[in-house]
Homo-oligomer: A and B are copies of this chain.
Amino acid sequence: MAASAPYADLTEEQLRKELARLQAEYESFRVRDLSLNMARGKPSAAQLALSEPLLTIVKSNEDCFAADGTDCRNYGVLEGIPEARALMASLLDDEPENTIVFGNSSLTVMYDALARCLDFGCCGSIPWAYLESVKWLCPVPGYDRHFAVTETFGIKMIPVPLVDAVAADGTPLVGPDMDLVERLVAEDAAIKGIWCVPKYANPTGITYSDAVVRRLAAMECAAPDFRIFWDNAYCVHHLHDDPAEQDQLLDIAVACREAGTEDRYLKFASTSKITFPGAGISAFAASPANVADALAHVKNQMIGNDKLTQLRHVRFLKDASGVAAHMREHAAILRPKFDLVLDALQGGLGELAIASWTDPRGGYFISFEGMEGTARRIVSLAADAGVTMTGAGATWPYGDDPTDSNIRIAPTMPSLDELAIAMEVFVCCVKIASLEKLLEG
C-alpha cells in the first residue's frame, strides 16, 4: 500500500520498502511503451478546431479588402490594416495608433526588437552591440525561449526570483522580487532590460500585482534606455468565465505614463493560443517614440506583414468581446485538464511533503517544485517511461536551475485520457526521485 504520511516521517526501512513498491509500479508503466507529451504549451486539436471558420472566412477576390479599401493580397501597409491594429490593441490594452501588427510569432517580434536595440540602440541611444557588457533580468522560473533570445545575443542573464508576498502595509507583492530588481537596475547601467510575462506567467501562472507593475514603471534605472519586454502572451487566457475568478493586470503603459517613464516598456502579444499557433498574428505596442523608432528600421526589413491573415482574424474574432467569447470555448476544454493535473498531484503527493505546485487561474502551465536535486532525475525517469516533460532547468537562464527542483507541466496538448496516464507516471517518478534523494542523504 502507498505511503500517505510525509516521507520525512518514515524510517529508512519504510522508505526503502516504498521505493521498491514504486520501482515495480514504474516498470509496469515502462513496459506499456507509452508516448505522451507534457513538454510544450501547444493547444490541442480540439482547441485548434474552434478556429476552423478562419480557414475560409476570406473566400473570394472581392473579399480581400480592408475597410479602407486596401487590397490585402498586395504589398504594403507596414503597420497592419487599421482593423487588425484595433483588434490587437484590445489584447494589449492600448491604442491602435500605438500598435503594430506583425507576423505569426510574437517571439520573432521580441527577438527583432532586441536585435534592433543591439544594432541601432533605443530612440537614439548607443547601439548595445558596441557596449562592453549588456545584462538582462530574468524572473525565474520563466520562459525558456525568452532566455534563448537573450543568450543568443550574448547578453548576460541575471535570475530574479518571482515572489508572492505581502508588504508591511498589506499590499500584495506578486511578481519579480522588486527590492532586488530596484537595487540591481539602480546600481548597474549594463542592465538594459527585463523579461516579464506579467499575466498567468509561464510557468508559474502568477499575475503581477499592481504594486509590482508600478514599481517596475517607477524604479530608478542606471541605464537610461532600460526596456521592460512585457510579453503579455496570456492576456485573455483565463481558465474561468466568472470575472471574479479572472486575474486583472495593471497596464504597464498607464503605470509608466504616471511615473514619467513612458518609453520604458515594449508590449507584445499574439493570437498563437487564441486561433492557430502557426498561422496567427502578433503585435507590438509601445510609446509613440518607441513605435517611431521601431518603424524607422522595420521599414527596411519588411514591406508589410500578411494582411490576409490579419483580415481573417478580424472577420473571425471581430473585437474584444468576440475574443472573450472564443476564449471561453478554449477554457471549457482546458479547465478539465488543469483540474486533472491538480487532482493527480494532490491525490498522489498531497500528503507526502515532498513537492509544491501552482494552481493558476489562466495561462498554459502548472509550475512544479520538487525536492532540491530531483528535477533532472524526475524528467529523466519520466522520459524513460515514455512521458516527455519540459527539460529540467529550462525555466532558468542557461538551463541552470541552481536547486534542480523546478519542472514546467504543460497539460494542454494531450487528451484527458493521455493526461491521466501521464500524470500517474509523473507522480510515480516524483516519488521515486524523492525517495532516492532521501535515502542518499
Contact = CB atoms under 8 A, between A and B. Distances in A.
A214 interface: no
A49 B61 contact: yes
Contact of A119 (B118, B151, B303, B306): B118
B42 A52 contact: no
B73 A279 contact: yes
Most chain B beta-carbon contacts within 10 A, residue among A40, A48, A75: A75
Interface stretch (A99-107, A199-207, A322-330, A384-392): A99-107
Contact of A278 (B52, B148, B278, B304): B304
Nearest to A43: B74
Nearest to A77: B278
Given A119-B129, A306-B279, A308-B276, A108 B76 contact: no
Contacts of A58: 55
Interface stretch (A25-33, A294-302, A331-339, A351-359): A294-302
Contacts of A130: 129
Given A63-B55, A300-B152, A42 B278 contact: no
Interface in A44-94: 45, 48-49, 51-52, 55-56, 58-61, 63-64, 71-77
Given A61-B48, A108-B302, A303-B107, A277 B152 contact: no
Contacts of A55: 56, 58-60, 63-64, 308
B115 A119 contact: yes
A76 B305 CA distance: 20
Contacts of A76: 278
A58 B71 CA distance: 21
Interface of A: 40, 42-43, 45, 48-49, 51-52, 55-56, 58-61, 63-64, 71-77, 103-105, 107-108, 111-112, 115, 118-120, 127, 129-130, 145, 148-149, 151-153, 272, 276-279, 297, 299-309
13 contacts: A42-B75, A45-B71, A72-B278, A72-B279, A73-B276, A75-B278, A103-B104, A104-B306, A112-B301, A118-B119, A119-B119, A279-B309, A306-B306
Q: Which 10 pairs between the two chains have the least Cβ-Cβ distance? A: A279-B308, A73-B276, A152-B300, A111-B301, A75-B277, A148-B300, A48-B73, A108-B302, A129-B129, A104-B306
